[in-house]
């Protein structure tokens, strides 16, 4: 995530320059080249995922889309009491913050979209929208919520159409709207009473009527409101545990990308909409695979494999891959792929997953060793010479580009560090990167062993051992923790972050060192302990007070990686405390507002205190995943808005 580059949080958009796009297509160059073909097993995964009604459309959570046909039914709201002009909410989106924009409060969302529930607050009024499957049919129930603040009642608008240039169309026919393709006809009915409306900006076939009472929508055959309520009651999921919360978060953030005919889970709908339709960040989407593994094997596989299928011609998984075919050809992001894939294999035991991902993981692993090695350590960088480069990305070949490779875009760890603009590298032995990389080598060696690739297994084991020995030299006995080292001066950089604990993932610390790190630093309330854990820079660091992005705020992935490291050591008390405090942080705004934040204030536990924290960013649910792993049947996660 690049807060300093154009993002939906700043209201700016990026888009590829047409000339460059055309030139690269003609030359077959760079990121726009051919992708790795899908295996038969993985093609079947995507075929199973891309079926049925769900919130597939990135532009609105108040729209249901039927795959593979692309039929869509969308709920809109017309506000009739605006002074001088009516207002129309054609699409509802999660996480908006602007004045006059809608506030969507998400409720339960099952993996397959068989039930969804949300509230929309807009222009002083609000309504609830529930959807469910009744066999192959869709039912929807929109309910106005009081008290009404507008002078005139709103109008509910139900429109129907076909997305993504798919075959067929939608037509009004008497009491229903009909979808037609060469293969099938599907009818849509509603329970409302139509009223004429003025200047309604909807070109598709639609119903419109005053929204004074619950209005139902159904496909296949007409259903009354009571019949629809019975379906909703039957399909509404029971329970409110952490697994159900993760399911809802992932359900709302999973969509269909028609450009590559795939189901994926980008970090958030706002980021995807702002980047032209989708954006896949490297480690974010691997973490999405881990989240999905709690309940949907196919989605977990899709998120891991699609991230690897974005690998660049240079052989690495890019920091980002966005709509239009553009990728960060200059830089990668933290290598968590092999650990993720091995975790999926241990959960589901499908050897074909290892076979499908191994070559890309090996290429990426070798790339780090070949392109980011300095004096026996790994460093961060941004390669300015890689072509083609995203013309809208000003960070290429700069210190900021190298910082982006860390995934910790504005972290104080990289304030005033030595940077060589000729090589594009930061001359700092990076503890976090090396801890993750050694763990990557170790996991990939195990994958090679499972596949019977003895030569690659030996290669990876030797590489893991070599960097493990280098990593051990970054232990600072005086401080009692692992620290980054300035390779120009040879001196340790005294700043501490959760990355100082990543060597636990690689088992680089002795049991005594691990115990000291936990006792003196992790649970120390003046550094990383306290009510809200774990700040992204030590509380004792001058930058902690900034509480802006990676400068002191709490991030789900950091807590998650530290927790995974603790599992390698006999530290049950530290694991339990981290799990319980992470869950409390997740529940705080999830229960109150239905928010799952990109990051949280380490002093107050708030996520809404800054505009640079996306309100619905799936990796915030990693805070709940920690508890799910520590207590498989443990404390409950609250349902948003008291549901």
CA distance 337 to 614: 24
pLDDT reading at 9 higher than 70 = no
Q: Percentage of the chain with pLDDT > 90?
A: 83
CA distance 550 to 233: 43
Q: Classify 421 as helix, strand or coil.
A: coil
pLDDT reading at 186 higher than 60 = yes
Domain 51-235: top CATH class: mainly beta
CA distance 300 to 290: 7
Structure tokens at 301: 């596989």
pLDDT reading at 225 higher than 80 = yes
Q: Classify 516 as helix, strand or coil.
A: helix
- In order of 109, 340, 491, the CA distances from 253 in angstroms are 10, 19, 44
CA distance 517 to 521: 5
User: What average pLDDT does the segment 496-518 reach?
Assistant: 98
Q: Classify 119 as helix, strand or coil.
A: strand
CA distance 200 to 434: 57
pLDDT digits (tens, 9 = 90+) for 23-81: 333 333 334 444 667 999 999 999 999 999 999 999 999 999 999 999 999 999 998 87
* Secondary structure tally for the chain: helices H, strands E: 16, 27
Q: Classify 483 as helix, strand or coil.
A: coil
Enumerate residues 6+ apart whose C-beta is below 8 A from 581: 531, 532, 533
User: What average pLDDT does the segment 471-497 reach?
Assistant: 98
- Domain limits of the chain? 51-235
Q: Classify 191 as helix, strand or coil.
A: coil
pTM here is 0.93
Enumerate residues 6+ apart whose C-beta is below 8 A from 424: 330, 381, 382, 383, 384, 397, 398, 401, 402
pLDDT reading at 16 higher than 50 = no
**Mean pLDDT, the chain, integer:** 91
User: What average pLDDT does the segment 361-389 reach?
Assistant: 94
Peptide bond into 4 cis (omega under 30): no
Enumerate residues 6+ apart whose C-beta is below 8 A from 492: 474, 476, 479, 483, 484, 485, 486
pLDDT reading at 195 higher than 90 = no
pLDDT digits (tens, 9 = 90+) for 322-341: 999 899 999 999 999 999 99
pLDDT reading at 150 higher than 70 = no
pLDDT digits (tens, 9 = 90+) for 559-575: 999 999 999 999 999 99
User: What average pLDDT does the segment 610-634 reach?
Assistant: 93
CA distance 147 to 162: 36
Enumerate residues 6+ apart whose C-beta is below 8 A from 476: 482, 483, 492
pLDDT digits (tens, 9 = 90+) for 228-254: 999 999 999 998 889 999 999 999 999
Helix axes 556-566, 622-630, angle to 10 degrees: 20
- The H-assigned helical ranges of 209-310 are 225-235, 242-252, 269-274, 282-292, 297-309
Bridge partners, residue 126, by sequence: 121, 145
pLDDT digits (tens, 9 = 90+) for 352-372: 999 999 999 999 999 999 999
pLDDT digits (tens, 9 = 90+) for 418-435: 999 999 999 999 999 999
């Amino acid at each position: 995530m690049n807060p300093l580059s154009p993002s939906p949080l700043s209201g700016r958009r990026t888009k590829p320059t047409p000339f460059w796009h055309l030139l690269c297509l003609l030359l077959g160059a760079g990121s726009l080249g051919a992708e790795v073909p899908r295996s038969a097993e993985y093609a079947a995964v995507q075929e199973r995922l891309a079926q049925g009604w769900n919130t597939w459309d990135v532009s609105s959570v108040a729209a249901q889309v039927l795959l593979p046909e692309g039929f869509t039914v969308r709920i809109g709201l017309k506000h009739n009491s605006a002074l001088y002009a009516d207002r129309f909410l054609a699409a509802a989106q999660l996480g908006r913050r602007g004045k006059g924009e809608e506030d969507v409060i998400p409720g339960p969302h099952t993996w397959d979209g068989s039930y969804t529930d949300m509230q929309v607050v807009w222009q002083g009024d609000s309504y609830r929208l529930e959807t469910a499957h009744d066999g192959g049919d869709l039912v929807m129930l929109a309910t106005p919520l009081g008290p009404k603040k507008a002078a005139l009642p709103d109008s509910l608008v139900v429109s129907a159409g076909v997305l993504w240039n798919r075959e067929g169309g939608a037509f009004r026919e008497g009491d229903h709207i009909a979808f037609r393709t060469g293969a099938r006809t599907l009818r849509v009915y509603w329970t409302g009473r139509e009223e004429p409306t003025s200047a309604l900006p909807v070109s598709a076939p639609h119903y419109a009527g005053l929204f004074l009472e619950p209005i139902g929508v159904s496909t296949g055959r007409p259903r009354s409101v009571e019949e629809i309520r019975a379906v909703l009651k039957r399909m509404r999921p029971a329970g409110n545990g952490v697994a159900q919360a993760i399911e809802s978060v992932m359900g709302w953030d999973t969509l269909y990308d028609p450009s590559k005919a795939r189901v994926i889970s980008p970090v958030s709908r706002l980021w995807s909409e702002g980047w032209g339709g989708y954006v896949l960040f490297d480690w974010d989407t691997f973490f999405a695979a881990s989240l999905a593994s709690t309940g949907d094997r196919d989605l977990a596989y899709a998120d891991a494999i699609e991230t690897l299928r974005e690998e660049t011609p240079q052989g690495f998984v890019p920091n980002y891959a966005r709509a239009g075919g553009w990728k960060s050809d200059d830089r990668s992001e933290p290598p968590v792929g092999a650990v993720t894939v091995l975790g999926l294999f241990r959960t589901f035991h499908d050897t074909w997953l290892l076979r499908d991902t191994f070559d890309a993981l090996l290429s990426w692993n070798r790339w780090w060793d070949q392109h980011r090695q300095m004096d026996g350590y790994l460093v961060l960088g941004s390669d300015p010479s890689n072509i083609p480069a995203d013309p809208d990305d000003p960070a290429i070949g700069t210190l900021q580009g190298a910082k982006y490779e860390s995934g910790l875009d504005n972290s104080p760890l990289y304030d005033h560090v030595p940077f060589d603009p000729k090589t594009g590298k930061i001359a700092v032995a990076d503890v976090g990167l090396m801890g993750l990389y050694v763990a990557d080598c170790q996991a990939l060696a195990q994958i090679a062993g499972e596949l019977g690739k003895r030569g690659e297994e030996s290669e990876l084991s030797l590489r893991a051992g070599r960097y493990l020995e280098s990593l051990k030299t970054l232990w600072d006995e005086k401080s009692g923790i692992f620290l980054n080292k300035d390779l120009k001066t040879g001196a340790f950089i005294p700043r501490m972050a959760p990355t100082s604990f990543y060597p636990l993932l690689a088992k680089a610390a002795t049991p005594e060192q691990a115990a000291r790190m936990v006792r003196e630093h992790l649970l120390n309330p003046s550094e990383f302990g306290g009510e809200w854990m774990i700040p992204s820079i030590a509380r004792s660091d001058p930058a902690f007070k900034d509480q802006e992005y990676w400068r002191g705020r709490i991030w789900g992935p950091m807590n998650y990686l530290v927790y995974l490291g603790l599992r390698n050591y006999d530290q049950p008390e530290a694991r339990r405390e981290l799990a319980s405090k992470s869950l409390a942080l997740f529940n705080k705004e999830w229960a109150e507002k239905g928010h799952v934040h990109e990051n949280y204030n380490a002093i107050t536990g708030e996520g809404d205190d800054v505009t640079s924290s996306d309100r619905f960013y799936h990796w915030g649910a990693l805070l709940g995943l920690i508890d799910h792993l520590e207590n498989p049947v443990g404390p409950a996660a609250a349902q948003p808005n008291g549901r």
